[in-house]
């Protein structure tokens, strides 16, 4: 069953095309990666899916009652004034302490962290808390916009594992947005390659290395064939 369906989305700003004719659907329980270089329109697409930005053309269809959790790319909360982890979780609108504890458990953090100053935690812990905050609204789908920097490699791997666990154990539909293929390729069921338009029929690794320039003719041929590209590991 499809959770989110993106239909013919185009978006223009200042007469420039940011997104052109985007089509795909996310099924319940999917773990999909969305990759593309800087300026490919990833954040714009997320905003359109979340309903924060009206598309120039096309529509978004969501399953009735679907709640989407959102982990923004820049969550670097201003560090000058302290804020406790509990206060960060309360931003979700959910004030229930036991649910906060459950959310922390899901992201593999101790309850004792609730009283600590968010700014004094490591980047990896902070990111887990931001995911916990998204989980506090009991989402069926999660959109995760990967931060550009500040997270080391081993922390990244742990995070990918965490999201995969959430996906498997809680049937959480995940759209993982990243500027590089990196390691998400091992975890995701599918990868979408975005650069203004969805480049289907090319391999994500080639796409991320800039080897592929798909034409729009490819697009139309592929459009009917495949909702998202399954990954074939090639050697």
Partner 1 sequence: MEFLQYSFITNALMAGVLTALSAALLGNFMIVARQAVMSDMLAHAAVAGVGLGVFWNINPIAGAFLTSVAATLLLWWLSQKKQAAPEAISVVILNGSLALALLLIHIDSRSGFSLESYLFGSILTITQSELYLFICLNIFIIGLLLFFWKNILTLVFDQDFLHSKNTYKSFFEILLMLLIAAIVGIGLKVIGGLLIGAMLIIPPLIVQSYCSSFKQNVIMSALINILAVLCGIISSFYFDIPASSSIVLTLILLFGLAKIPMIRTQ
H/E segment holding residue 153: helix 153-170
Task: Write down the least CB distance from residue 90 to partner 1, Å.
Answer: 6
Closer CB to partner 1, 102 or 116, in the complex? 116
Closer CB to partner 1, 84 or 165, in the complex? 84
Task: Write down the least CB distance from residue 81 to partner 1, Å.
Answer: 5
Task: Write down the least CB distance from residue 70 to partner 1, Å.
Answer: 4
Residues of the shown chain interacting with partner 1 in the complex, contacts defined by CB under 8 A: 50-52, 70, 72, 74-75, 77-78, 80-84, 86-88, 90-91, 93, 115-117, 120, 133, 137
| Beta strand pairing call for 229-230 and 31-35 | unpaired
Closer CB to partner 1, 33 or 69, in the complex? 69
Task: Write down the least CB distance from residue 167 to partner 1, Å.
Answer: 20
Task: Write down the least CB distance from residue 221 to partner 1, Å.
Answer: 35
Closer CB to partner 1, 35 or 129, in the complex? 129
Residue 100 CB neighbour total at 10 angstroms: 23
Question: Is the CA virtual torsion 201, 203, 207, 210 positive or negative?
Answer: negative
| Beta strand pairing call for 16-27 and 173-178 | unpaired
Q: b or e along 15-24 (b: 16 or more beta carbons within 10 Å of the residue's beta carbon)? A: eeebbbbbbb
| Beta strand pairing call for 2-13 and 57-62 | antiparallel
Closer CB to partner 1, 126 or 167, in the complex? 126
Structural tokens at position 74 = 């820049």
């Amino acid at each position: 069953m499809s959770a989110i369906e993106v239909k013919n989305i185009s978006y223009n700003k200042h007469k420039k095309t940011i997104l052109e004719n985007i089509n795909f659907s996310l099924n319940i329980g999917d773990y999909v990666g969305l990759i593309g270089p800087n300026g490919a329109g990833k954040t714009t697409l997320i905003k359109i899916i979340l309903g924060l930005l009206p598309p120039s053309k096309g529509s978004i269809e969501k399953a009735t009652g679907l709640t989407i959790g959102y982990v923004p790319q820049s969550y670097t909360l201003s560090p000058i004034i302290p804020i406790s982890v509990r206060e960060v979780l309360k931003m979700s609108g959910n004030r229930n302490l036991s649910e906060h504890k459950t959310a922390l458990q899901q992201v593999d953090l101790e309850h004792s962290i609730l009283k600590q100053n968010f700014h004094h935690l490591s980047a990896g812990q902070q990111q887990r808390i931001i995911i916990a905050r998204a989980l506090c609204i009991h989402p069926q789908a999660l959109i995760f916009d990967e931060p550009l920097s500040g997270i080391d490699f081993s922390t990244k791997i742990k995070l990918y594992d965490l999201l995969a666990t959430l996906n498997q154990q809680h049937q959480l539909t995940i759209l993982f947005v990243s500027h590089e293929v990196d390691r998400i390729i091992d975890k995701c069921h599918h990868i979408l390659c975005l650069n203004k338009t969805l480049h289907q029929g090319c391999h994500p690794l080639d796409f991320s290395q800039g080897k592929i320039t798909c034409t729009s003719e490819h697009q139309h041929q592929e459009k009917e064939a495949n909702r998202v590209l399954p990954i074939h590991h090639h050697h």
